[in-house]
A and B are shown apart, each in its own frame.
Chain A
Amino acid sequence: MAWRLRLAPEKTNIDFFKHQWITFGGSMLLMVLSFVAWGAMGLNFGIDFKGGTTLRTDSATVIDTGVYRATLDGLDLGDVAINEVFDPSFRADQHVAAIRISAAKGQDQIDDAGLKRVTDALTAMDPALKIVSVETVGPKVSSELVWSSITALLATSLGILGYIWLRFEWQFALGGVLALLHDVFITVGIFALFQIKFDLTIVAALLTILGYSINDTVVVFDRLRENLVKYKTMPLKEVMNLSVNETLSRTLATSLTTLLAVGSMLVLGGDVIRGFSFAIFMGIILGTYSSVYVAKNLVLFLGLDRSDKPRATGKGADHEFANIDA
């Protein structure tokens, strides 16, 4: 018998409802806390949503943010924030700073002359310094991006809701999508709590979380759909437990492979994409958790009609391919 790595024993019989006050309740509490963090601390919006200019400098000289500040002071700019960036992928003599400048009073966005003053001052301060990226987003675009982000999140949620409704029943659809929102809201809460820069790529990451978190949930639901027909008299709660147990080893395996891949992106992929990788990383962990502890609880709460009426999918069989193995 060959040795195999097992993330879960061959047959588990865990009662996933046993501590639901802690697991499901905890999730709800985390969600509330996320809203609190969100409301109290606000998100650290990047220029995509707030407007303004960011510069990224790269130099062989060690960075003293005080000197940078002194250099940029008195250039007649708006607020200036200077951060040194660290990353394991940098060379030993690579020193990177991120400078964020908001538009001066009475201006929509920094003008060419202002930007030139900044770049001239920086290169005069440190001739070895290179400005490797400059980004400016005007207020008009940034306010539109806020709306298009919200629309995109809603559109994706509705799309997923519709698809699951089509393939399963409305309780599954609603439960699944609410569990998704749980994943997304807590991820946003983490971004608020640690004040990680929240820009357009983070929204892209949140959208990706929507798509991926539902993945685990769908696999559990798919099994549930199958078992509901197989065990007609078993109480709903038990069928749910059985389904989660049966799919547990797959759920863990998939989450682990995805985490391994995204984790290597998070550690080795460079700082430019780090926020994005981090959001997806958190989203996968939360998504796995919610598909085991949140989604099915919501379905249970919504209740299922188990009478033998024709199913939403229009098939009476235990699942789509059942007839093949008649």
Chain B
Amino acid sequence: MQMETPLWKRLVVWAIVVVGLILAAPNLFYSRVETRNDAATAIAKAAKLGVTATPEQTAALSVWPSWAPSALVNLGLDLRGGAHLLAEVKLADVYKQRMDAFWPDARDALKEVRDATGPIKRKPAPEGTLRIMLTNPDGMQAALAKLQGLTSNVVSLTGAGQKDMDIVADGSDIVITLSDAEKAATDTRTLQQSLEIIRRRVDAAGTREPSIQRQGADRILIEVPGVGSAEELKAIIGTTAKLTFNTVVGQGSDKTANPGQGNMLLPASDNAKLYYTVEAAPVVTGDDLVDAQPSFDQNGRPAVSFRFDTSGARKFGVYTTAHVGQPFAIVLDKQVISAPTIQTAITGGSGVITGNFTVEGSTNLAVLLRAGALPAEMTFLEERTVGPELGQDSIDAGKVAAIAGMVLVGVFMLASYGMFGLFANITLVLSMGIIFGILSMIGGTLTLPGIAGLVLTIGTAVDANVLVYERIREELRHAKTAARAIELGYERATSAIVDANVTTLITSIVLYFFGAGPVRGFAVALFIGIVTSVFTALFVTRLIIEIWFNWRKPKTLIV
């Protein structure tokens, strides 16, 4: 009696196995393929900028053939080493900025109805709220109408048709807040801008495969492999980098001095005892910059050179022409970096920021200025750094454990099921290969719990085989022919195998959505492991048994 699986089915099964193994192959030469991939990325980046590749990069390309698959399993931060940050964007910052910016406009608009309202005054209010007191409440309607004229429609799909501000009368006061629709639109925008700016900053710092994702309503998860510590990463992305050029009104050492209306008192960044009084309204801001590069000043100290765009250059030119001989302050995140005196009118639109910089500091500042300022401040809720040594130790230990687990399970299967155990072991090795192939293909990330998940899969991968073999043994007892017993064994064990594994699939899906980073890696490994091991047990082992059976044609069967 022959066992015969349809040819097309056999071809499909073997094709899946072969493709899986081919996709897994690059992982055997991990560092070599990685060198090639890094070179390919660098060359592509250079080509975009119109730069030709260096000979070393071209040479690195040839260490791995270009026709061979080159996708690798990514190593998670806990294995490769790197930094992980969970940042919360202070969305309310932007509401405050908006209201502060709205006040001068509102003031000017209300001037036109001053006859009706009398003098107006901004009253203290919670952040993000603008409260304006009218001396004469009779002019309320006129004032409200004026202010309504300043509002505009919300620019978003969900908030279409709504105004961006809520303007209501409260006694003799007018209370202005952003409308809910506008807040939602602003939140989305703020978060997107933050993401984009963080991405630019991290990219500029030149690290490999950073992952920057939005999480929930106001959070950003940043994972950067290869960074020495979360501190370093925070230095790059944590600063708001709001750069302004302000008129200096005065300076002193009293930090409690009253700066006066329309002015701010700011500390000097390099001198704890020095405070500057500057005009609050900046002359130009970092938004007007088009470029910033680390450089050196005439004394050879690190500095940052910058270039304004056309409108920035014009504003700066007009200002410096009018204020020759006076100092102006270069302010970064509410600290005065330096306050040089304007020697001559600067009309070329470029300049140099000097200060107490280190080379690293000036390089970082240039990166930050190029990428632009963050729209809102961020706080860090979670910081994790794993050193590469620990990651390597984990990989080594994981490898040893996986090999030991495989050998132990293999010996057990051989002892329990003889020849059939051997078949199960062959499939086990194949399924491990296919798992790596799938992980490489989908760009999955292997983490330390992920390795544990794979080891766990080793144990359960043979489970489906065990179920089938036990069932075949039972069927054999009922004195059926060998071929029939194998067939029945497979058929009758299938429902148990499927039911038992679907529950674990449910778990791995929940795990994926529940966890981040390492736990997510575990979920992915578990999911792929289960699907692969059920596939190999039900189809691949069966084909192997079939080949053996048709070759040896045993009369009796010992499982």
Residues of A within 8 A of B (CB): 1-2, 4-7, 10, 56, 58, 89, 112, 115-116, 130-138, 140-141, 148-149, 151-152, 155-156, 159-160, 163-164, 167, 200-201, 203-204, 207-208, 210-212, 214-216, 218-219, 221-223, 246-247, 249-250, 253-254, 256-265, 267-270, 272-273, 276-277, 280, 319-321, 324-325
Contact = CB atoms under 8 A, between A and B. Distances in A.
Nearest to B523: A204
Nearest to B418: A2
A272 B558 contact: no
B416 A321 contact: no
Contact of B515 (A200, A212, A216, A219): A200
A256 to B, nearest CB: 7
Given A207-B511, A211-B506, 8 more contacts: A4-B558, A5-B416, A218-B499, A261-B456, A269-B397, A269-B401, A273-B449, A273-B452
B491 A264 contact: no
Chain B contact surface mostly = helix
A268 B470 CA distance: 31
A46 B140 CA distance: 58
A207 B514 contact: yes
B544 interface: no
A204 B229 CA distance: 26
Given A257-B466, A262-B456, A211 B389 contact: no
A322 B389 CA distance: 56
A204 B522 contact: yes
Nearest to A266: B401
B459 A201 contact: no
B128 interface: no
A58 B392 CA distance: 13
Contacts of A215: 460, 463, 500-501, 503-504
A160 B462 CA distance: 22
B389 A132 contact: yes
B380 interface: yes
B361 interface: no
A167 B506 CA distance: 14
Given A1-B558, A204-B519, A253-B416, A265 B452 contact: yes
A116 B508 CA distance: 39
A203 B460 CA distance: 20
Contacts of B455: 261-262, 264-265, 269
9 contacts: A4-B417, A152-B510, A207-B510, A208-B507, A214-B500, A221-B499, A254-B462, A257-B409, A260-B409
Given A164-B503, A218-B503, A260 B387 contact: no
Given A208-B456, A246-B474, A130 B389 contact: yes
B382 A156 contact: no
Interface residues of B, number: 81
Contact of B452 (A140, A152, A269): A269
Contact of A211 (B416, B459, B503): B503
Contacts of B398: 265, 269-270, 273
A136 B382 contact: yes
Interface string B39-53: 000000000000000
B423 to A, nearest CB: 14
B496 A218 contact: yes
Contacts of B408: 260-261, 263-264
B147 interface: no
A324 B230 CA distance: 61
A257 B413 contact: yes
B390 A132 contact: yes
A2 B558 contact: yes
Contacts of B507: 156, 159-160, 207-208, 210-212
Contacts of A159: 506-507, 509-510
Contact of A276 (B449, B494, B523): B449
B459 A258 contact: yes
A321 B495 CA distance: 8
Contacts of B416: 4-7, 253
A268 B403 CA distance: 10
Task: Enumerate the 5 nearest inter-chain pairs by beta-carbon distance, A residue then B residue, closest first.
Answer: A211-B507, A258-B459, A261-B459, A270-B397, A211-B504
Contact of A254 (B384, B386, B453, B466): B466
A253 to B, nearest CB: 5
Contacts of A320: 494-495
Contact of B519 (A201, A221, A261, A324): A201
**Most chain B CB atoms below 10 A, which of A130, A218, A321:** A218
Contact of B405 (A134, A210, A260, A321): A260
B526 interface: yes
Given A132-B387, A250-B466, A155 B510 contact: yes
A324 B406 CA distance: 36
Interface in B194-245: 229-231, 234
Contact of A250 (B229, B402, B470): B470
B1 interface: no
Interface in B151-183: none
B86 to A, nearest CB: 6
A42 to B, nearest CB: 23
